[in-house]
Amino acid sequence: MELSEGAAMHPLVMGAWGALLLVNAFLLYLAARRFRHYQSARTWPRIEVRADSVELQRVIHSRDQLPVSQQHYEAIFTYRYQVQGREYARQTVVPVSDRAQVEALKSEAKIAFHYNPHDPAETLEQPPGPKPLMLTIIGILVVNGMGTGFIHSLAAFLGGQ
């Protein structure tokens, strides 16, 4: 719908455009933040440490009104590491198939990860890929498509006032 020169836009339509602009600003901020994190995390130092302990935990998933429950095991690694003379503690959960796999992990009991040199308490198993950034960009496109359609429908409903 096109407005003729000098025609006023309905306040609800103007408010909807304003809300869409605010959502876009937030999503662009989020995309920029994720891009900076993606770029910096790829350069974080990698460290390998021996776990202080490895424990087995059985996880049972049961659903209401279903006679069968599903279960799997997880190995919980507890370890400490030092960066610039300061000690940090961390736990990592690794899915395993059975007790034998946990016993094999206990014999190795090593885990490798990347840490943020500016905040060594922040760690990642692997640097993030571009997926979160791409999902944010897709979100921007979806929100704009839906928002624009909604605003045009709202303007048509209000009679273009």
Q: 70 falls in which pLDDT band (50, 70, 90)?
A: low
Question: Residues for the chain: how many in total?
Answer: 161
pLDDT tens digit sequence for 118-154: 999 988 887 777 787 788 889 899 999 999 999 999 9
pLDDT tens digit sequence for 100-119: 777 777 777 778 889 999 99
Q: 2 falls in which pLDDT band (50, 70, 90)?
A: low
* Model pTM score: 0.58
Do 134 and 122 meet the contact criterion of CB atoms below 8 Å apart?
Answer: no
77: closest CA among 49, 37, 99? Answer: 49
For the cut 70, the answer to whether the pLDDT of residue 161 exceeds it is no
Q: Provide the residue ranges of all domains of the chain, joining segments of one domain with +.
A: 11-41+130-157, 47-117
Check residue 84 and report its DSSP letter: T
